[in-house]
Chains A and B, each alone.
Chain A
């Protein structure tokens, strides 16, 4: 099988402290993969390392079997929403157009074609009416959609998204997941940092359980088990215990989660972020 992304022995340290230890990972082509792990587990750092935004201390990263630099155009990126200043003086269409700057290269200005593809992407995420809106006047979910539209215009083959579901309502979440599935059917690969354990089996094909080390990775129905989750989130985290109670003897957490006796309300603890390692 071809791999969209291969990570070999990746170690990243901020000064002396390693935040990613010896990570090995294969992302098969054409899947939706979730990265889960507690706060501070290094999820964002992993994505940044793949995109060359932080320098690894050791290891190798290959996109479609080659170095990132040579494959830059094939990689799309949706950063965490809070990572930019939404008071920046610009409008929605302009932000989406930024996704095309890479293809335009240095010096060339975006023109009518670029505007058209940006508008088309906005249409896809249901934000076409907001094209001229100042970005400071968007709600959190709308900001997230703008970022998604910007990734869409990049027309990449593999996407990395850092918490695209953070702080969006149920409607937007469904719209986003529909979009991700559409990308998958177009043969794209999407890697998503995700915090809602409950929806992992429903939304994703593959999962990486990460907490500084790689605890497990592979197909969701094989590796998304209670035991692996416990290893990832550590005994410290109460809700893993609660999860064990609802999971019962079922093989994977998700299956039990949906059928759990407490229903979604009882499982809401799952959606909260775990506490990271001190």
Chain B
């Protein structure tokens, strides 16, 4: 839960900066930083390890930006080049100096499996279970503080880096601070939950929150909550099914995103469909009342205003026509007199307003 909330916060800015893939890159590329830090200290929980990871994370971002700024290849391709390179340096370091680690083709092909040696590396003599909780709580606090203190600066740097620079708010510095934070969060988190989950937690909850709100502050809070709730649900789910906790949490994040996408009040799929349907009927009743208005009181009214005539004149399907009439009747816009449709006062107003709008 702590992990999920900690990941979701910087994740918001990654998503808004269209840098989601960077979380993937960073969470893999920090491996050599961790390994070197470990060699330096021999202790997996030491702050140097985290500093090493943060540095490698920033280095990753800097390298990606350097490569893509040459405009020879696109940023996504640059990410694809940089992080496997750094990641494999990490793997080589482990294999070379951390002893009996066996890497097979599967491990190289499947990023996830490739972390197996790393897991073993962690387990080699150190029990960090409870420590990772303290670590992540610390990371969460740092993330919250960073975002609260620099909220306004982060906002303008993300929305319009040019303006931020012109105002003297140093968006480049903030950018690298943010990336360092992402790296630190990723180190802490994949100790606790594994690398795929880090990506899921950094990208999933913010994307869901994005669909639910139009305000940045609300988006931050919501994504932390969505992340935490998915984590708890995932935990119980895993418990029930006796499945991997990390996998279950990632699944729950996916499920949460799916439901938000489907049901979000404004931007959700259902809401959009419903709005579209409503607009269709609003438009249909407008057409109907305008049609009635233009023939009202004229000799041809007896012909034009017959309900069954709509199918000819407006070229409506019979089913559609009767539904439109029903909607208009229910809305008190028209009334029936024998086979004829007549405008009510409200209907007349409705029609003249519609004409003005056009």
Give bound CA distance, A15 to B165, whole Å. Answer: 21
A31 to chain B, nearest CB (A): 21
User: Residue B159 at the A interface, CB < 8 A?
Assistant: yes
Contact with A along B210-244 (1 / 0, CB 8 A): 10011110110000000000000000000000000
User: Residue A164 at the B interface, CB < 8 A?
Assistant: no
Which residues of chain A have C-beta atoms less than 8 A from B18's C-beta?
85
Give bound CA distance, A90 to B152, whole Å. Answer: 12
Is the beta-carbon distance between B169 and A90 smaller than 8 angstroms? Answer: no
Which residues of chain A have C-beta atoms less than 8 A from B213's C-beta?
89
Contact with A along B167-183 (1 / 0, CB 8 A): 11100000000000000
Give bound CA distance, A53 to B163, whole Å. Answer: 9
User: Residue B98 at the A interface, CB < 8 A?
Assistant: no
| Chain A: CB-nearest residue to B156 | A98
B75 to chain A, nearest CB (A): 15
Q: List A residues 23-72 near B (Cβ within 8 Å).
A: 48, 51-53, 69, 72
| Chain A: CB-nearest residue to B165 | A53
A169 to chain B, nearest CB (A): 18
User: Residue B166 at the A interface, CB < 8 A?
Assistant: yes
Contact with A along B130-163 (1 / 0, CB 8 A): 0000000000000000000101110110111011
Number of residues of chain B lying within 8 A (CB) of chain A: 27
Pick the contact of B160: A51, A84, A91, A104 (CB < 8 A).
A84
- Counting chain B CB atoms within 10 Å of each CB, which of A48, A90, A104 scores highest? A90
User: Residue B273 at the A interface, CB < 8 A?
Assistant: no
User: Residue A237 at the B interface, CB < 8 A?
Assistant: no
Pick the contact of B216: A51, A90, A104 (CB < 8 A).
A90
A49 to chain B, nearest CB (A): 12
Give bound CA distance, A134 to B167, whole Å. Answer: 24
Is the beta-carbon distance between A90 and B159 smaller than 8 angstroms? Answer: yes
Pick the contact of A52: B165, B210, B214, B215 (CB < 8 A).
B165
Chain B residues in the interface with A (C-beta under 8 A): 16, 18, 70, 149, 151-153, 155-156, 158-160, 162-169, 210, 213-216, 218-219
Interface CB pairs A-B, < 8 A, 20:
A52-B166, A72-B166, A72-B167, A72-B168, A75-B166, A79-B163, A84-B160, A85-B159, A88-B16, A88-B159, A89-B16, A89-B213, A89-B215, A89-B219, A90-B215, A91-B214, A98-B160, A101-B164, A102-B169, A104-B152
Please name the 8 residue pairs, one residue from A and one from B, whose CB atoms are nearest each other, closest first: A102-B167, A77-B166, A134-B214, A84-B160, A51-B166, A98-B156, A88-B159, A72-B168
